[in-house]
């Protein structure tokens, strides 16, 4: 028998270097994917929970018509409006009574529809009418009233609108204001106080050089009508870059 036939076969390592390299590569990729999924999951979960809201208080400068205003990001309702520059309109939402945008402390009022009656919604545009809602009382609304006025509560008087006026189930509520025009708001009053909706009352006011501020709030806050009106005017005026006084 030859020497080659008698020699023992050459021993091979159980794990080749190529196999070890491929295994380590797979382990490294899996580790990277695990970290990425963990980070991405937290990011995705946070954005799902925010549902379009942001808790950033960074100010955004917007020009609406002849006015320039600065609003915090967390007070701007729609993500598409959270950019600087010219805008046809800007929509805000604020927690009442602190007049703050979305944050960790008050997030349930924004996230939970059952608590949305604690929010005030604003729509700010360039004025297209020469008069705000108070200014339209005598020349417009007074011709659309039906029946006698009725005492309401908290200094308000209820006026019913004609069925053919185009306002559906809305009523007009007014109140005298010392040193200024009457307060006027349109509301769809609920059948019971616990059925009040988050934006069933609406009113518009003029602010700055040429801004129309339409705001909506829950009829459950009608007892605070005077404070809400003053707070909204103060909130917008304080953020005017041109610091123009409101014309009455």
The answer to whether 94 and 122 are in contact (CB under 8 A) is yes
Would you place residue 242 in the very low, low, confident or very high pLDDT band (cuts 50, 70, 90)?
confident
| Choice between 34 and 182, residue whose per-residue pLDDT is larger | 182
Peptide bond preceding 97 in cis form (omega within 30 of 0) = yes
| Pairing of the two strands 59-64 and 85-86 | parallel
The answer to whether 100 and 106 are in contact (CB under 8 A) is yes
* pTM score, whole prediction: 0.78
In this predicted structure, what is the pLDDT of residue 113? 85
Q: Is 129 left (phi over 0), alpha (psi -120 to 50) or beta?
A: beta
Q: Tell me the mean pLDDT in the region 12-38.
A: 58
Domain locations in the chain as residue ranges: 15-50, 59-237
Give the integer Cα–Cα distance in Å for 126 and 66: 8
Give the integer Cα–Cα distance in Å for 3 and 97: 100
Give the integer Cα–Cα distance in Å for 172 and 141: 8
The answer to whether 103 and 233 are in contact (CB under 8 A) is no
pLDDT digits (tens, 9 = 90+) for 122-165: 999 999 999 999 999 999 999 999 999 999 999 999 999 999 99
In this predicted structure, what is the pLDDT of residue 3? 47
Give the integer Cα–Cα distance in Å for 144 and 147: 10
pLDDT digits (tens, 9 = 90+) for 41-58: 443 333 334 468 999 999
């Amino acid at each position: 028998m030859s020497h080659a036939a008698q020699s023992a076969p050459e021993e091979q390592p159980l794990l080749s270097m190529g196999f070890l390299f491929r295994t380590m590569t797979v382990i490294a990729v899996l580790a990277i994917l695990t970290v990425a999924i963990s980070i991405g999951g937290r990011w995705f979960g946070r954005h799902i929970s925010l549902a379009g809201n942001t808790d950033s208080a960074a100010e955004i400068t917007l020009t609406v018509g002849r006015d320039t205003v600065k609003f915090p990001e967390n007070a701007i309702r729609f993500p598409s409006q959270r950019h600087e520059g010219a805008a046809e309109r800007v929509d805000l939402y604020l927690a009442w009574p602190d007049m703050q945008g979305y944050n960790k402390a008050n997030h349930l009022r924004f996230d939970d529809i059952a608590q949305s009656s604690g929010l005030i919604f604003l729509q700010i545009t360039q004025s297209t009418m020469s008069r705000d809602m108070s200014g339209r009382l005598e020349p417009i609304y007074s011709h659309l009233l039906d029946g006698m006025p009725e005492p309401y509560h908290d200094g308000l008087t209820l006026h019913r609108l004609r069925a053919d006026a185009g306002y559906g189930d809305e009523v007009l509520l007014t109140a005298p204001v010392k040193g200024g025009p009457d307060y006027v708001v349109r509301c769809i009053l609920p059948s019971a106080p616990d059925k009040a909706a988050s934006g069933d009352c609406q009113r518009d006011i003029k602010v700055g050089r040429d801004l129309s501020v339409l705001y909506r709030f829950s009829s459950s806050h009608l007892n605070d009508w005077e404070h809400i009106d003053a707070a909204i005017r103060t909130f917008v005026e304080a953020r005017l870059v041109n610091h123009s006084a409101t014309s009455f």
